[in-house]
Amino acid sequence: MVLWLAAAMLVLIVGVSVLAPQDEQKDPRPTTYNTGPNGAKGAFLTLKAIGRDSSRWERPLRELDAIPAEHTTLMLAAPEYTALEKDEIAAAVKRFLERGGRVLTTGPSGALLLPGGSAGPPSMMQLGPCRTTPGEGPLAAAGRVRMIDAARWTGKDTKIEIAERCGKDAVVVQMRVGRGEAVWWSTASALTNAELKTDADLRLLLLSVGDGRAVVWDESLHEKVPGIWSTAHGLPLWWLSGQVVLLAGLLVLSFSRRSGPLRAPVMVPRSSPVEFATSMGDLYEKGRATGAATEAARRRLVRVMMREAGVPQSAVDGGPQAVVAALKERLGGDWSTVGEHLRQAGEAARENPAARAALELARAMAEDAERIRAAVRPGSRAVRGVRVA
């Protein structure tokens, strides 16, 4: 039943993601994917419908060098870029123009991409779109266009033709750059889905893109390009994904608990040396008897010295220095570290050091015992003879 519920949930998620319409009414970007009022999909499809070659460009603009500029118009509708990208993009646009290309760009950000181009705020307040006044040049043949005065041309290049004005503000200009031509609009409103419905708007668009040129709409300079997952915009996909993962985890855990192998827990018998060592360790830890642990290690070391190295009881009773002297006499070499460890063990029996220090001291005395055994083995007969006597 749980598996059937999970399958039904998955079908619902996929169905809603595919069939639910994307709300693009508030999308302000004039992209060819946007079907809302501010989008440019209507202009894109209109050019195709009248037989113009209209396509999208989603690669970096530096790759424009690979297309024939003299037969192409590049559309930069309200481009978006960072300050670090501006110089590189403007250089690519300039190369395209100098090779004979034509560029239609809009807004203040579009003006900055043209050689010597810039745009400032409008000189007067406009409550809504204005009816432009035709100026000079071929673009003025579009007539009075309904356009929002969002910015005015402030470029320093005097070799421009002001085709449309909104009051005193130049809102449509045309300029030559090398073998190409550039057209700038104050705003992209005249080509949006909501405004491209009058003859003047359509004439301005057709005159701006030029005759006999393929129109390439740049989508690389917009914030994002819709992809295969764009239809799922607005859905709580992260929450749905989390629920699916949680459900899958519960299924795996429940199945593994019911279907896994049954094994008896490992029980250590109480007669095992491991059980004894664990019990003693627990007792030492609970009682904080680190001194007792070091004392046990000291006794094991003393037992090895007396039984295997032949150190007499009198030397052991005489203290660490006497033990060092006895070991040197019987085995040769330097045994001062053994005396130091015996001295520290005597202090530990009285002070109960920290567990880490006690462990290190016990390990050191165990290593001392192994060192004595290793020294005894080559001359075991002589040593044992002394011990027996």
* Residue ranges making up the domain that contains 310: 273-388
- Do 166 and 305 belong to one domain? no
Residue that finishes a domain, picked among 194, 218, 242 = 218
CA-CA distance, 329 to 242, in Å (whole number)? 76
Positive or negative: CA dihedral 213, 216, 221, 223: positive
- Report the C-alpha gap between 147 and 129 in whole angstroms: 5
CB of 61 closer than 8 Å to CB of 221: yes
Query: Is residue 349 domain-shared with residue 207, that is, in the same domain?
Result: no
Interatomic CA distance for residues 55 and 49, integer angstroms: 12
Contacts with 27 (C-beta within 8 Å, 6 or more apart), sequence order: 34, 36, 38, 39
Q: Which two tokens stand for residue 176?
A: 């030559």
Q: Given 218, 233, 264, which residue is the final one in a domain?
A: 218
Q: Is residue 243 part of a domain?
A: no
pLDDT in tens, the chain (389 residues): 778 878 888 888 777 766 655 555 677 888 998 888 888 999 999 999 998 999 999 988 989 888 999 999 999 999 999 888 899 999 999 999 999 999 999 999 999 999 989 998 888 777 678 888 899 889 999 899 888 888 889 987 768 899 999 988 899 999 999 999 999 999 998 899 888 888 888 899 999 999 889 999 999 888 654 455 555 555 666 777 788 888 888 877 777 666 666 666 677 676 677 777 778 777 777 777 788 888 889 999 999 999 988 889 998 889 999 999 999 988 888 999 999 999 999 888 888 888 888 889 999 999 999 999 998 876 544 444 333 22
* 259 part of a folded domain: no
Same domain, yes or no: 209 and 128: yes
Number of domains in the chain: 2
Together in a domain, 209 and 299: no
**Confidence at residue 222, expressed as pLDDT on a 0 to 100 scale:** 82
Q: Residue 172 falls within a domain, yes or no?
A: yes
d(CA 301, CA 362): 10
Measured at the CA of 83, the angle between CA 82 and CA 88, to 5 degrees, comes to 90
Shared-domain flag, residues 108 and 189:
yes
Q: Answer yes or no: do 289 and 185 share one domain.
A: no
C-alpha dist (Å) from residue 143 to 156, 161, 172, 206, 305: 26, 15, 12, 13, 115
In this prediction, residue 70 carries a pLDDT of: 92
What's the confidence (pLDDT) of residue 5? 79
Residues 145 and 277 in one domain: no
pLDDT at 106: 94
Domain assignment present for residue 256? The answer is no
Structural domain includes residue 323: yes
Residue 16 lies in a domain: no
Q: Is residue 18 part of a domain?
A: no
At residue 265, the pLDDT reads 65
Q: What is the pLDDT at residue 383?
A: 43
Residue 313: Cβ-neighbour burial (10 angstroms; 0-12, 13-18, 19+): exposed
- Note whether 99 and 70 are within 8 A (CB): yes
Look at residue 234 and tell me if it is in a domain: no
Same domain, 80 and 212: yes
Phi first, then psi, for residue 331 (nearest 5°) are: -115, -15
CATH number of 214's domain: 3.40.50.880
Q: CB within 8 A of 36, min separation 6: which ones?
A: 24, 25, 26, 27, 193
Q: Please check whether residues 196 and 80 belong to one and the same domain.
A: yes
Residues 212 and 91 in one domain: yes
- Does 162 lie in the same domain as 297? no
Q: From CA 306, how far away is CA 326, in angstroms rounded?
A: 10
Largest Cα–Cα distance of the chain, in whole Å? 131
Last residue of a domain, one of 182, 197, 218: 218
Q: Are both 202 and 347 inside the same structural domain?
A: no
What's the residue count for the chain? Answer: 389
**Is residue 109 a contact partner of residue 80, using CB atoms and an 8 Å limit?**
yes
